[in-house]
Amino acid sequence: MRIVAGVYRGRTLKSPTWDGLRPTSDRLRETLFNILGPAVRGARVLDGYAGTGAIGIEALSRGAATVTFVERDPRAVKLIEGNLDVLGAGNVVKPVIIRAGLADAVTRLGEQVFDLIILDPPYAHGAAVEALDAIAPLAAAGTRVVIEHAARHAPPDAQAGLRRTRTVTAGDSALSFYER
């Protein structure tokens, strides 16, 4: 895995050495951030189901003001920490890593609001609905929510006050964009 653009462009990230973690491909990350464009610069970003941290780190590379990583697997949390350390990303912006499931993390975050919420839940039927329900309190008017999902498991058109505005498919994966 490599960072596609920004200040860390071309830098390589550590990958998981265990089964069960499905990092977002470089190609799909590039598509995501090409669509988001300049909206990332200065944004408060939540990387839910962070895994390797590649999405949040890409956001940092492209000028996000803050990134909060949410990941429950302690091995993945160490991987995120290692990737941030190798890049020196913590020297520029102090990222926050919350080791918890998404719903618990939302409770801990209280009334914080994010400009951009990117979620990569397991590719299971119904996972997108659960993720949208969980993050709804963190999404204000103007917040963009993106969910990566299996192309075969279409997420709902609307859920928890969020409305799907676009879906982009790339092979077996898809990105669905939501707004309040």
Residue 18 lies in a domain: no
Burial of 74 (0-12, 13-18, 19+ CB in 10 A): exposed
Q: What is the pTM of this model?
A: 0.92
Residue 130 lies in a domain: yes
Please say if the pLDDT value at position 2 is more than 80: no
Tokens of 180: 């309040």
pLDDT tens digits, one per residue of 18-44: 665 556 676 888 899 999 999 999 999
Would the CA dihedral through 133, 137, 138, 143 be positive or negative? positive
Residue 12 lies in a domain: no
When mean pLDDT is compared across 9-23, 40-54, 123-137, 154-168, the lowest value belongs to: 9-23
> What average pLDDT score do residues 58-84 get?
93
CATH of the domain at 175: 3.40.50.150
Query: Tell me, what's the pLDDT at 1?
Result: 76
CB 15 within 8 A of CB 45: no
Residue 104 lies in a domain: yes
Residue 144 lies in a domain: yes
Task: Tell me what the pLDDT averaged over the chain comes to.
Answer: 89
> What average pLDDT score do residues 62-80 get?
94
Query: Tell me, what's the pLDDT at 136?
Result: 94
Query: Whole domain around residue 117: which residue ranges?
Result: 26-179
Domains in the chain, number: 1
